[in-house]
Amino acid sequence: MLQRNIPAYGEKKGDCGRHLARCDIPAELLVLDLLIHKDFTFAIPPKPALCSLAASSSPPPLPERKYLPFNERLQDLGVSTVPPATPEVPRYAKLLQTIYERTGWNPDEFHAFRMKIPYPAFPTAIELCYPLPVKKPKTNSILKVSVPKLLAEWRMRTVSQP
């Protein structure tokens, strides 16, 4: 899952970057990876939290979110040119390699974190958050690449393969 419109810089002190993975159906396992570019050292490590979606179909605004007890451990996968082993997700390594090739990104520039949650509560959202710096940069080319388009192309190609 990819998320858009997550700011790289806050408007005021205390603003956070938040990445959510929804779990709204029963599942045996939820796997959430977050790859953070080396230029975003302020985001390492992200802090995990579990947010209830029982009262709504999408996460409510921050002041109204209901957080649940959550004891799962965030795994620090570090930096590596080899995608992290993910036996539960077939062809995950190929997916990441394709994204890196098409975007021209170097995998050595990303720090990976993973949450694996067996039998996750539902309806919930797993949130990985980190404090944002306030100052806005002049430009950041990594935020301008169309990753959703690349993933859509990859999915269309892999669906037609046996």
How does pLDDT run across 90-124, given as a tens digit for each residue?
888 888 889 889 988 899 999 999 999 999 988 88
pLDDT band at 58 (very low <50, low <70, confident <90, very high): low
> 9 in a domain, yes or no?
no
Cβ atoms within 10 Å of 80's Cβ, excluding its own = 12
Q: Decide if 27 contacts 119 (C-beta within 8 A).
A: yes
> 3 in a domain, yes or no?
no
Residue 158 is predicted with a pLDDT of: 58
Q: Decide if 95 contacts 12 (C-beta within 8 A).
A: no
Is the pLDDT score of 148 beyond 70?
no
> 1 in a domain, yes or no?
no
Helix, strand and coil in the chain, % to nearest 5? 25, 30, 50
> 142 in a domain, yes or no?
yes
> 55 in a domain, yes or no?
yes
The whole domain housing 97 covers 16-159
Most confident by average pLDDT, 44-53, 56-65, 129-138: 44-53
pTM: 0.74
Residue 92 is predicted with a pLDDT of: 87
> 6 in a domain, yes or no?
no
Is the pLDDT score of 140 beyond 60?
no
> 103 in a domain, yes or no?
yes
For the chain, what is the domain count?
A: 1
Rounded Cα distance between 161 and 144, Å, is 30
Q: Please name the residue that has the structure tokens 């539960």.
A: 88
> 4 in a domain, yes or no?
no
DSSP 3-state assignment of 143? helix
Residue 81 is predicted with a pLDDT of: 78
Give the phi and the psi of residue 43 in degrees, each rounded to 5.
-90, 0
